[in-house]
Amino acid sequence: MRVLSWVYLALAYAFVFLPVVVLVVFSFQDGRLPVPPFQGFSWRWYDKVLNDDGLMVALGHSALVAFVSSALALAMGFLAAHALARVRLPGSVLLRGVLIAPMTVSYLIIALGLLRVFNQTGVPLSLWAAGIGHVVINLPLCFAICYAAMGDHQKNAERAARDLGAGEAQVLWLISAPMLAPAMVAAFFLSVTFSWDEFIIAFLLTRFEVTLPVEIWSMLRSGLSPATNAVGALVFLVSVVAVVLMEVVVFRRAK
């Protein structure tokens, strides 16, 4: 039984990571096509990607949208979670359901809905429009993580702070946020990871200032190349670094 468990685990990991391994390996392909046989090791595709002005601009756009939208989603999600966890409101269960509902909706539906709203209200398609879309998809995640992390011990600490004369803003900034720091860091890094490689919303809500996934899609329209593999490997590396940082920060704070 133990052997079967290990075999099953190995097959599961292979199923998940084999495409990534193939992508990374053929990003070092010395030939012009990212297909077998492997024709030798070369860094030239990474050099080409890193010296491509269009890709570097798109990389900056993705970083800007990911960090700004994640910070806004975290702030709004934390405030909403704190309010619904600490104050009894009529229909609070319904309010929580409405906040979490975007997690169950396809990104395509959300993007089309936002596109319709922006066209009706005259909001131009831009990085800021894509950022709003990313706030919409990441806000439920941040809310759910922060809400789940709120417990009675934090409520007691907040009540003690109020008894000692602290205002609501001081309670939020000096008591609630520090006690929820591990959950908030986790929510932020997960939001950055999801926003970093999101394509559909960025594709529909931007025009000339595109993000990295949209730029990669433009490259793929001209055919497969080890350069696209190199870009994909770099995107995967950034996602891995974000997840590792989250794990290190969260677990260290938890200990």
Q: What percent of the chain has pLDDT over 90?
A: 16
Closest CA to 85 of 76, 74, 75, 96: 96
Residue 65 pLDDT level (bands cut at 50, 70, 90): very high
Task: Sketch out the chain's domains with CATH numbers.
Answer: 60-254 (1.10.3720.10)
Average pLDDT on 128-137 reads 92
Residue 249 pLDDT level (bands cut at 50, 70, 90): low
Residue 156 pLDDT level (bands cut at 50, 70, 90): confident
Q: Which amino acid is at 168?
A: E
Across 12-16, 108-112, 223-227, least confident range: 223-227
DSSP helix/strand/coil, 41: strand
What is the pTM assigned to this prediction?
Answer: 0.80
The separation between CA 68 and the C-alpha centre of its own chain, rounded to angstroms, equals: 11
pLDDT of residue 43 exceeding 70, the answer is: yes
Residue 34 pLDDT level (bands cut at 50, 70, 90): low
DSSP helix/strand/coil, 29: strand
Please give the full DSSP string across 157-195, using - where no structure is assigned: HHHHHHHTT--HHHIIIIIIHHHTHHHHHHHHHHHHHHH
Residue 33 pLDDT level (bands cut at 50, 70, 90): low
Q: Which amino acid is at 243?
A: V
Please give the full DSSP string across 51-68, using - where no structure is assigned: T-HHHHHHHHHHHHHHHH
DSSP helix/strand/coil, 31: coil
pLDDT of residue 140: 92
130-118-124 Cα angle (round to 5):
70
Backbone φ, ψ for residue 31 (5° rounding): -80, -175
Dist CA 212 CA 202 (whole Å): 9
3-state helix, strand, coil in the chain (%, to 5): 80, 0, 20
Closest CA to 203 of 188, 220, 189: 220
DSSP helix/strand/coil, 255: coil
